[in-house]
């Protein structure tokens, strides 16, 4: 219940802070929220003991974005992101139980999926309003991603 309360708080408050200096062109953005599993992380239609893909439930994610804008509206960015998604333990136990005859009790543990990304990139700032207080910043980023596949026992 405590974990659900924290997720509720993160989703509805947005957990977004922004600090920016107008003179230097440096900006920091911190964000967090829900990490919805997709692709290999999402629940697989057929899950077996030999295939630990899938079985992830909604978790938490965080992001730190550093930006430095040059005078000509072109800028550089560095994004550091991470997410943790636990596994559906009830479903995992159910899969083991289905392979056994009745009368056996199942005790199983499953660790969480962990994802960590570092992505440098470039962006361009387009002013939307006449007084230049509102900007659109399309960003192109590429980087590395490390995924920790959970252990099961």
- 97 vs 35: CA distance, rounded Å: 29
Please give the pLDDT value at position 49.
55
Tell me what pLDDT residue 76 has.
93
Per-residue pLDDT of the chain (153 residues; tens, 9 = 90+): 556 555 554 554 443 434 444 446 888 888 888 888 877 667 665 555 555 566 788 889 999 999 998 877 899 999 999 999 888 777 777 777 776 767 777 777 777 888 899 999 999 888 887 776 777 888 888 999 888 877 766
| Cα angle 73-79-82, degrees, rounded to a multiple of 5 | 160
CB 118 within 8 A of CB 77: no
Residue-level pLDDT at 44: 60
Q: What are phi and psi of 69, to 5 degrees?
A: -100, 130
End-to-end CA distance of the chain: 24
Token pair, residue 131, equals 């007084």
Task: Say what the pTM is.
Answer: 0.67
Is residue 3 a contact partner of residue 10, using CB atoms and an 8 Å limit? no
The structure tokens listed for 40 are: 């290999």
Determine the number of helices (DSSP H) and then strands (DSSP E) in the chain.
2, 9
The Cα 122–Cα 35 span in angstroms is 25
């Amino acid at each position: 219940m405590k974990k659900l309360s924290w997720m509720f708080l993160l989703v509805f408050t947005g957990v977004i802070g922004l600090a920016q200096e107008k003179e230097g062109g440096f900006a920091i953005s911190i964000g967090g929220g829900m990490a919805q599993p997709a692709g290999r992380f999402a629940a697989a239609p057929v899950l077996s003991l030999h295939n630990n893909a899938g079985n992830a439930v909604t978790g938490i994610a965080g992001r730190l974005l550093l930006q430095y804008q040059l005078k000509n509206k072109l800028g550089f960015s560095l994004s550091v992101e991470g997410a943790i998604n636990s596994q559906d333990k009830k479903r995992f136990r159910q899969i083991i139980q289905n392979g056994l005859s009745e009368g056996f009790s199942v005790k199983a543990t499953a660790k969480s999926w962990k994802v960590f990304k570092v992505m440098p990139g470039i962006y361009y700032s387009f002013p939307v309003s006449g007084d230049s207080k509102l900007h659109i910043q399309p960003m192109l980023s590429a980087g590395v991603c490390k995924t920790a596949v959970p252990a099961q026992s």
